[in-house]
Each structure stands twice: as structure tokens, then as C-alpha cells.
Structure 1
Amino acid sequence: MTRPGAGHRSDETIRREAADWAARAHDPDGGFDPAAFDQWRDADPRHADIYARMEAGWNQAGLLAQTRVGQSRGLPDRRQMRGERLRPYVLAAAAVLLIAVLGVTLISFRAPEPAGQKPVYASKIGQIRQIRLADGSQVTLDTNSRVEVAFDPHSRRVRLVRGRARFTVTHDVNRPFTVTAAGASVTARGTIFDVALIRHQVRVTLLRGAVDVRNDETGNAEPLSVERLRAAQTLAFRPSMPLPAPRPIQPLATQWPSGMLGFDDTPLAEAVAEANRYSTYRLRLADPELGRLKVSGAYRAGDLNGFAEAVAASFHLHLVTMNRGELLLTSAGTPAT
């Protein structure tokens, strides 16, 4: 709900407030108050949009510095930025640096849609879309994704049909927020996490708070599998298998809502599969052995040509344009087929 008079406040004022909230959220001694933050965020639709861009810009600059690419380019890391209280000019400089050095562009979030009118939300290939739900929670849909929403007085349930989504959940101790995907479920009450259902695999990534992950389709031979995730942990599993132990997240992999694909020592086959999800045409590897090469860096989501050209230059490969625009990476002496 927008408070009376909220619309008269300037975007610059909101940016300063958003910077202060971002600083508190990322500083263990910053005195972050989730309830007060939820109240501020819900007071004006612009608050959530500006804060999301503020958080994305800070995360990109800080997290890219942790990779070999970021270190070689001299990007500021979180330790350097934390002392600045995240003033808007620091974030703006970081975003400009990212665009100039790495070719990253930020995809603007769509304006929130009226809550409660559409129980089903979807995104197109190459589109990243943000939705505000009836309870004030936000869902950011990745490319080619679809969710179904069902709220009642006692529970909040969202089904991820395909793709990936980030959930920024409004705290409500009386109504747990549950996301289901292919027989698995993730339950939270107020936190930020990603759920992906891609290539028959479920992946849950927790950015803040704690969630319970259940796999209800483990088969008759295994009991119900339950795992508690903590912040900065992720797990990936098949619906028919028991849950594995959580693993630390790859920081760059969490930056997709800002339109950036980040890889840090990632096998080329995995990076190509991820880049292809944002395009209507495909990039292929002529030799499966090329898939073992390790890729690091940041690339614009949807710019498949730019990604392919960068990979070709890095590994001295040939990039061939095939029929209907399909791209093929080949090594020297490998025929294009």
C-alpha cells in the first residue's frame, strides 16, 4: 500500500534511503531490522524497484571482484565498499565500470502488476520480469519461466512450472511461504531465495535467512528427504533422488536478475547451456571435449553472439555461423557440421 504523500518524494531521496537499507543489510553490525525494512519497502512501489537495482549494482561490483576476472580488472570488493555506506555515487560508479569493462547491461524491471488479478505469471525467452504478489512479496522471473500462485488466509503457495525465479518473501509468521517444483518444496517465512527447474533438475539457492527444502518424490525405498538451508548455500537434485548435502553458492551465479550471466571456472558445456536459455537460436560445440574448458567472466544475458565471440577469442577457437543463425564453436582442424 502506498502511503499518502509518498508519490511526492523524489527518486533521489528514495535512492539515498535504499542505499542506507542496502548498507545495513550487508553489514553484520548495521542494525538491519527486517520488519522495518518490509514497512519501508511496501510504503511505495518505487521503494522496491529502486532497492532491487541498488542491491544488484552493489552485488555485481562486490562479487565480480572475487573472481580472477574481477581481480585482474581491479574491481572494488565488498570490504572496500562496505565502509562507504553504499552511497548512490559508489553504486553508480560500480555499475558504469561493469558496463564499460565487462559489457554487462542491466535489464530494467517491469513495473509491478496489480496483485491478486493474475494467478499465473510467465516470462518470454530473454525476458526478466518482476511481479509483486498480494502479500507484498516479490517474484523475479528468469527467462522462459512460469509460476502459479495460490494464497489463502493460512498459507502462501507458489508452483514453479518451469525456469527459475527469485522470491523476496514478506515476513508473516502465521502464513508460511512455500514454493513447489517437480515434487520438491521450499518453505520460508521471510527471506530471499532462488528456485530453478531446468533440464529436469531442481536447484535451490538461499541468499538470506533460512529455508526448509523437502523432496517428496524420493521413491518407496527412501524416506521423505528434508534439508535446512542457510544463507549462501545451494543444493541441486533430481526429484526422484534423496537430497544431497548443501554446497556454498557461486556468487556470480546469483546475479541473473540484473541481466548478467556470471561464470567462475565453469565448464564451457554448462556455460553454453546457460547462455542458450536466453536466446531463440543456439550455440553448439563441434567437439564434446571443448565442453571441459573452464570459463570465467560476466556476459549480457541474451547476447549469445557476444558470449560466443568472447569464448572463441579466449580459447583461440573458430566461430562459425550455420544455417538459420545457429552458432558453432570449433577448434582448429575440426570440420563444421
Structure 2
Amino acid sequence: MSLDQDADDWFVRMRGPDAADVRAQFEEWRSVPAHAQAYERRVRSFDTMMFLASTGTVRKRNLDIAKPWVLRTAFRKYAAAAIGLMLTGSLVLIAAQRGFGEPQSLSRMEVASLEDAPRHISLPDRSKLILDRGSRVQISYDHNQRRLRLLVGRARFSVAHERTRPFIVEAGAGRVIAHGTLFDVELTQSAVRIALLEGAVEVRDASGGNGRKQLDLRAGQRTAIEGGSVVKPTSIAAADSQWPNDMLVLGGVEIGEAVAVFNRTAPSPVLYELRSSRPVRVTGAFRRSDPEGFARQLAATFGFRVEELQDGSFAIVDGSRPET
């Protein structure tokens, strides 16, 4: 069996009912760099196919006549079933849109980053999307607008400029409208957070649904929508814009905030239980993919200790704390 066929089989199994049972075996297989690259190619190919499959042109095609090198046997079976489900959803969406007098949707899909962080996705209009770990976004394009809804987590949007078709991101009670720019949107339990890295965007809260502009955000600013209202913008902190990179660079950040920033994309959390009231500020570069290294580097720098917990996470504790 070829490497691509192996990747096809794992793609199907990790989206099937026995995914939890075979995860350890899958992770061992994927630990080989060539295997990981083949698997990522499969994931990206499937996202592209799902998006194209929802367009009017492709809906008229017969999936069974696709060339074998496009859809291999196992991959094709899963893709056909998934596209069928997705197309059903598209029909429901179109019917709902017609009921409200809106234009028919040309394409719709939902993408997620469940296993890898961050995940890079290219969109058909040349825009780009980066999803944080555990994030999901719904994408819907038509002739008049490009609309995306962040359902869970955080995403970075690099928007290709189109003069006549705005790029709209909805999350919770907030909405961001852009034409060509680079910005982050994060959905938390209590707020929607927006950080603008390049260009300019309009930020609207729930009360601005009828077209009333709430805030023009400028590059280097961040804001939030809390309690249904847009809060006053502030400057972006360096750590806030680094999350798509594996390296996290911190400069004089209080240890509680440093741990919180690190945990947002870490494969397992780092905890800290410090009785000391002395101020501790963290400066340095850390790999987001290495929680143990992060915890031990902080402990060694400030005279703390590290405890490995039963769930595999690591806790930074006072050096005077007795061993357990």
C-alpha cells in the first residue's frame, strides 16, 4: 500500500466511529514527518473538494466519474457521503435565504482544526484562513458578499481585496466587515475579540445589524464586543498576534498572563500554583508545542518546581512546596 493510500485510510478512520480507539495508533503513524505531510495533503484536498462541491457547476457533476488519482477508493467513499450531507445542508440554506429575499448561496462549507494548530486554509477568492486548535468556521459565498461565521475558537483572516463584494465575519453578537486586510477574531464565553494587524475594518455589535457602523478599527488596535456593545479600542500586545507561530515570544509579561497566552494553543495545559506574592514577569522565547519545556524553563528561571499531573499536564509550584 502506498503512502497516499495509507493517508486516505487514516483520514477515513479518524472521522469514523472508532476514531478514539485507534488514535494512539494513528498518532504513532503520523509521528513520521513524511506521514504527517501526506495526511495534511489529504485534509487540505478534502476541504477544497468540499468547497467546490457546493458550487452550482460541480453539483451537476457525477462524483463517480472522477479520475482515480483525484479520489482514491477509501477517500472517495467518505467524500461522497460527506458531500451528500453537505449538499443537503446547502439546499436548506438556499431555501432559508430565498424565504428572506436574499440571493441564492453559491457555495457553503464548514471547516475545523481538530488535530493540528494552527491550520492553514486557502479560499477560492485568494483569501486565506488560519484556524486555531479546536476552532470551527462556516463559510458561505454568493454574488454579493463573502460571509463567514466563527462558530468556536479563534481564526486569522487574510482578505483578498474585492471592491464590490465585502468580506464579513460574524462571531457571537459581533460582526467585522473588511475588503482587503488582515485581522484576528476570537470567540470566548463572555466576549468576541477582534485584533486588526493590517488595513482597516468596521466592527459592529448586535445593535448595528441594520447597517449602523459601530467602530472603525485601525491597524495595531484591538477591541471586544462585551454585553452586546463594542468596547474602546486598545493597542495590540505582541503576544496577541503571535498565536499562528510555534514560537511564542514574551517580553516582561506577568506569569499568569504568560501561562494563559501559552495555553491557548498548547497541546496540554500548564498550571501554576504559587503562594509567593512577589511579582514574576516572563521574558523569552518558548515553543507552543512543548508544554513541559515551557514549564521547566519558567521553573528554572524563577526557582520554582514542576509537577507532572496524572492527566499529563504540568504544574509550576513553589520551590518550597513538599514533594507529593
- Say which of 286, 296, 310 aligns to 1:323: 310
Identify if the C-alpha distance between structure 1 residues 136 and 284 changes in structure 2 by more than 3 Å, giving closer, same or farther: same
Partner of 2:320: 333
State the distance in 2 between where 1:207 and 1:253 align.
Answer: 10
Letter in 2 for 1:134: P
Identify if the C-alpha distance between structure 1 residues 126 and 293 changes in structure 2 by more than 3 Å, giving closer, same or farther: farther
Partner of 1:235: 223
Q: Secondary structure at the match of 1:175?
A: coil
Post-superposition Cα deviations, 1:248-281, rounded to whole Å, max 9, x if no partner, equal 1123431222322232332222222232233443
Letter in 1 for 2:215: E
Partner of 2:191: 201
Name which one, 1 or 2, has greater alpha-carbon Rg: 2
What's the offset of the Cα at 1:127?
1.9
Q: Which runs of 5+ in 1 are unaligned?
A: 1-106, 219-223
- Percent identity over the alignment? 35
- Say which of 178, 184, 200 aligns to 1:188: 178
Identify if the C-alpha distance between structure 1 residues 251 and 278 changes in structure 2 by more than 3 Å, giving closer, same or farther: closer
Partner of 1:116: 52
Q: What is the RMSD of the two structures over their aligned residues, measured on CA atoms?
A: 2.7
**Is this contact kept in 2: 1:126–1:302, CA < 8 A?**
no
**Is this contact kept in 1: 2:174–2:204, CA < 8 A?**
yes
Q: Following superposition of structure 1 onto structure 2, how do residues 28-177 of structure 1 map, counting pairs within 5 Å?
A: 113=45, 114=48, 115-117=51-53, 119-177=109-167
**Match status 1:303 vs 2:290:** yes
**Is this contact kept in 2: 1:275–1:302, CA < 8 A?**
no
Q: Secondary structure at the match of 2:52?
A: coil
Partner of 2:250: 263
Q: TM-score, normalised by structure 1?
A: 0.60
Identify if the C-alpha distance between structure 1 residues 204 and 290 changes in structure 2 by more than 3 Å, giving closer, same or farther: farther
Identify if the C-alpha distance between structure 1 residues 204 and 335 changes in structure 2 by more than 3 Å, giving closer, same or farther: farther
Number of aligned residue pairs: give it.
224
State the distance in 2 between where 1:179 and 1:225 align.
Answer: 15
Partner of 1:215: 205
**Is this contact kept in 1: 2:173–2:192, CA < 8 A?**
no
**Is this contact kept in 2: 1:130–1:139, CA < 8 A?**
yes
Q: Which runs of 5+ in 2 are unaligned?
A: 1-35, 54-107
State the distance in 2 between where 1:324 and 1:287 align.
Answer: 20
**Is this contact kept in 1: 2:243–2:265, CA < 8 A?**
no
Identify if the C-alpha distance between structure 1 residues 289 and 194 changes in structure 2 by more than 3 Å, giving closer, same or farther: farther
State the distance in 1 between where 2:162 and 2:275 align.
Answer: 49
Identify if the C-alpha distance between structure 1 residues 182 and 335 changes in structure 2 by more than 3 Å, giving closer, same or farther: farther
